[in-house]
Amino acid sequence: MHAQAGRALACVSAGGAPGVRAGLAPVASPGKRAGAGRRGAGGSRVPPPGGAAGGGLPGRLRPPGPAVSARLPRPPSPTATRQRQLKTLLPGFIQFIEMLIWKVPADCPHVPKMPCFPERTPRRNQKFLNKQTTLLAIICISKASPAGMTHVFVYGTLKRGQPNHKVLLGGTHGRAAFQGRGRTAEPYPLVIAGEHNVPRLLNVPGQGHRVVGEIYAVDEQMLRFLDEFEGCPDMYQRTPLPIAVLEWEGTRGAPRETPAADRTVQCFVYSTATFPPEWLHLPYHDNYDSQGQHGLRYNPRENR
C-alpha cells in the first residue's frame, strides 16, 4: 500500500499536462496538477470533499469571478439639460436686451442702486450685479411701454380737442392709448403754413420754442396708419426725439410722476426737413390750437 502511494506521488511530482476540471481555475503554478484528488486502495481516485459537483472546493482552487457588465453612461439629469439650454440661449438674450436698453432712461426710478456685499469677492459681486442689472432692465423695459406698443408725440391736429383727433379713437386704425403731456427737449420751429393752414414742425433744432404736445402709446397697425396719414416719408419724416414729460396719466411707463423732474421719454415725432425756406420766417408757436388767436383756421381734409 505504501509503495502504491509512493508511485502515485512520484507521478504527480514528475508533472504532466495539468488536468483542469470544468469550471475551476488553478491558482497554483502550472507545473502542479490541478483537481487531482487523493487515490485510495487499488489506485482508484477519491473525489474531493463535497462530491464531484464541486460543492466543496480544494483550498488552491476557486471558481472564476462573476462576469462584469460594461458600465453604461448615465443619462443627463433634467437640471443639467436646462443649464446647457440656458447657456446656449443667454448670449442672444443679452444681445436682445442691449438692443432695447436705449428705451430705459439713465435715471429710471425702476432701477434702484445695486447693493454691494463686502464679504464677497469683487468677481462674485460683479456676477451678482450683472444678473440684477439684466433682470431690472427687463422690468424697466416692460414698464416703459405696454407690450408691442410704441410712444408717439403729437403736437398738432391729432391732439385731443383738435380736428383730426378722431382718427386715434375707436380702434378702427389700430390701438392708441393716451399716456400724458410733454414738450420737446429742444426748441423747434412750429409754424402754420400752406393753403390749408396745417401745423408743421420744422426739423431745425435750436430755433423756435419747446413745443407742447401729447404722448400716445400706439401699436404697429396704428403706427403704419399714421405713416400714411402724415404722408411719411415724403411730406413728414418720422424721427425719434426725447420728449420731456409734463403730466402723466398712463398706468405704465411714467418716467417720474412729478413734472418738475423734467424726465424724458423717447418718442417718434412727425417733423419735416423738406420745406420752403420762407417758412422759417413765419411766426413760431409753442402750443398749437386750431381755434387759437393766430386766426388761421385749419381746413379739414373732408372739406378740401
Question: For residues 12 and 18, what is the distance between their CA atoms, to the nearest angstrom?
Answer: 10
Q: Known catalytic residue: 119?
A: no
Q: How many CA atoms lie within 13 A of 46 on its CB side?
A: 7
Q: Are strands 25-26 and 61-62 parallel, antiparallel or unpaired?
A: antiparallel
285, 199 contact by CB (below 8 A): yes
Pairing of strands 176-184, 212-218: antiparallel
Can you read off the three cell numbers belonging to residue 102?
436705449
DSSP states of 41-83: GGGPBPPPTTTTTTSS--TTEEPPPPPPPPPPPPPPPHHHHHH
Active-site pick, 228, 230, 249, 278:
230
Catalytic residues: 230
